[in-house]
């Protein structure tokens, strides 16, 4: 969405290697980030250790709340692979929007995408069954990545069973068992539990639909 603006990236672009920390929980938040390429994961520290909250790919933004509210970062963000981002301060935003009004429309699109992702996470909390929760979070994650649905029906998420467990609140063994069943159905490849791949996105969307429909039906009888 923003990758075609070379001048903007030359001025405000930054690259991070896989594993690099982009910012840390508790730091002052005076910049926001738009992902041009690559993927990042958002992590929060808890008493039991670090917890993955979400994963974002190209076309997404992060760090905007701390910038707007002028508060410390609420989480840590780490590059999952080589990642290029646009780094923008509040002053940068004002200047860009003033000189490039079309940028505001693009930014609104990105914010809407972020809201959809957050809404998906909230919806997931209300789902009761493990298959429903896992299928739902996997599809929510696919929506946060820019993939061409007409070109591919497969997506490598770059995260594993542990991260899915943290994002859904399910036990690790529940997630592993559910992924194993999805794998037998040809929906995912979970052989490497540290990096799950969705092998049939359309099939997984259909599975989620029927799982949630079934759960809703049982909830009203």
Cα(153)–Cα(90) distance, rounded to whole angstroms? 38
Residue 165: inside a domain, yes or no?
A: yes
pTM here is 0.81
In sequence order, what DSSP letters do the residues of 179-213 get, joined into one string?
HHHHHHTTSEE-SSTTS-EES-HHHHHHHHHHHHH
The CATH number given to whatever domain includes residue 211 is 1.10.10.10
**Owning domain of residue 169:** 127-219
Contact predicate 63/105, CB 8 Å = no
Q: Spell out the residues 6+ positions from residue 109 whose beta carbon is closer than 8 angstroms to its own.
A: 1
The CATH number given to whatever domain includes residue 51 is 2.60.120.10
Q: Spell out the residues 6+ positions from residue 150 whose beta carbon is closer than 8 angstroms to its own.
A: none
pLDDT tens digits in sequence order for the chain, 221 residues long: 554 566 667 778 899 999 999 999 999 988 999 899 999 999 998 877 788 988 998 888 899 888 878 889 999 999 999 999 999 888 888 888 888 888 788 788 878 888 888 888 888 888 999 999 999 999 999 877 766 666 678 889 889 999 999 999 999 999 999 999 999 999 999 888 788 999 999 999 999 999 988 887 655 44
Residues 97 and 189 in one domain: no
């Amino acid at each position: 969405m923003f990758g075609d603006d070379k001048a903007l990236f030359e001025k405000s672009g930054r690259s991070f290697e896989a594993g690099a920390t982009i910012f840390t929980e508790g730091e002052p938040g005076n910049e926001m980030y738009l992902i041009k390429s690559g993927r990042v994961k958002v992590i929060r520290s808890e008493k039991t250790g670090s917890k993955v909250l979400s994963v974002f790919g190209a076309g997404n933004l992060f760090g905007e709340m701390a910038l707007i509210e002028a508060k410390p970062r609420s989480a840590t963000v780490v590059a999952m692979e080589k990642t290029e981002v646009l780094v923008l301060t509040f002053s940068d935003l004002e200047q860009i929007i003033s000189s490039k009004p079309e940028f505001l429309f693009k930014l609104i699109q990105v914010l809407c995408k972020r809201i959809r992702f957050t809404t998906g996470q909230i919806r997931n909390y209300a789902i009761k069954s493990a298959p429903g929760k896992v299928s739902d979070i996997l599809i929510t994650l696919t929506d946060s990545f820019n993939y061409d649905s007409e070109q591919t029906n497969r997506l490598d998420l770059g995260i594993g069973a542990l991260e899915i467990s943290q994002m859904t609140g399910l036990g690790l063994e529940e997630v592993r068992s559910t992924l194993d069943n999805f794998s037998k159905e040809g929906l995912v490849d979970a052989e490497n539990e540290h990096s799950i791949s969705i092998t049939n996105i359309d099939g997984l969307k259909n599975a989620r639909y029927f799982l949630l429909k079934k759960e809703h039906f049982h909830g009203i009888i």
